[in-house]
Amino acid sequence: MSKQYEFKAKGLPYLLVLPQMVVVVLFFFWPAAQAVWQSFFLQDPFGGRVIFVGLENYTRLFTDSSYGYAASFVVSIAFAVCVTVLAMSSALFLAVQANKGLPFGSFYKTMLIWPYAVATMVAGVLWLFMFNPNVGIIAWLLKHKLGIEWSHLLNSSQAFLLITIAASWKQIAYNFVFFLAGLQSVPATLVEAAAIDGAGPAARFWRIIYPLLSPTTFYLLVMNLVYGFFETFPIIHQVTAGGPGTATNILVYKVWRDGVINLDLGGSAAQSVILMILVIGLTVIQFRFIERKVNY
Partner 1 sequence: MKRFPIAAAVLLVLATGLYAQTNIEFWHAMTGKNGEMVQALSDKFNASQSSYKVTPVYKGSYSDTMNAGIAAFRAGQAPAILQVYEVGTATMMAAKGAVKPVYQLMAENNEKFDPNIYIPTVKGYYTDSQGKMLSMPFNSSTSVMYYNKDAFRKAGLDPEKPPVTWPQFFETARKLKASGMEGGYTTAWISWIQLENFSAWHNVPFGTKSNGFEGLDTQLVFNTPLQVKHFTQIAQDAKDKVFIYGGREGKCDPLFISGQVGMVFQSIGANGTYRKSAKFDYGVTRLPYYPDVAGAPQNSIIGGASLWVLNGRTKPEYQAVADFFSFISTPEMQSLWHRETGYVPVTTAAYEYTKALGFYKDNPGHEIAIKQLLNKEPTANSKGIRFGNFNIIREIEDQVWEDILADKISVKDGLDKMVKDGNAKLREFERLNK
Q: Which CB, 116 or 140, lies closer to partner 1?
A: 140
Measured from the CB of residue 15, what is the shortest distance to partner 1 in angstroms?
Answer: 31
Question: 132 or 286, CB closer to partner 1?
Answer: 132
Count residues near partner 1 (CB under 8 A): 31
> Counting contacts by CB under 8 A, is residue 135 touching partner 1?
yes
* Residue 6 identity: E
**Closest approach of Cβ 58 to partner 1, in Å?**
15
User: Which of the ranges 41-49, 106-114, 192-200, 224-232 carries the binding residues for partner 1, by CB under 8 A?
Assistant: 41-49
Tell me how far, at minimum, the Cβ of 46 lies from partner 1, in Å. 4
Q: Which of residues 161-180 bind partner 1 (CB under 8 A)?
A: none
Q: Which stretch binds partner 1 (CB under 8 A): 44-52, 78-86, 116-124, 223-231?
A: 44-52
Question: What track of x and - describes contact with partner 1 for positions 59 through 78 (by CB under 8 A)?
Answer: -----x-x------------
Binding mask 219-248 for partner 1 (x = CB under 8 A): ----------------------x-xxxx--
Q: Which one of residues 18, 22, 23, 154 is an interface residue with partner 1 (CB under 8 A)?
A: 154
**Which residue, 43 or 224, has its beta carbon nearer to partner 1?**
43
Report in angstroms the alpha-carbon separations of 74 from 80, 177, 249, 254: 10, 30, 10, 13
How far apart (Å, rounded) are the C-alpha atoms in residues 280 and 276? Answer: 6
β-pair partners for 43: 50
CB of 149 to partner 1, least distance (A): 9
Q: What is the CA radius of gyration of the chain?
A: 24
Judged by CB under 8 A, the chain residues 246 through 275 that form the site for partner 1 are: 246, 257-258, 260-264
- Taking the complex as a whole, the smallest distance from the CB of residue 226 to partner 1 amounts, in Å, to 27
- Compute the residue count for the chain: 296
Q: Residues 15, 17, 18, 51: which binds partner 1 (CB under 8 A)? A: 51
Binding site for partner 1 (CB under 8 A): 42-49, 51, 64, 66, 132, 134-135, 151, 153-156, 241, 243-246, 257-258, 260-264
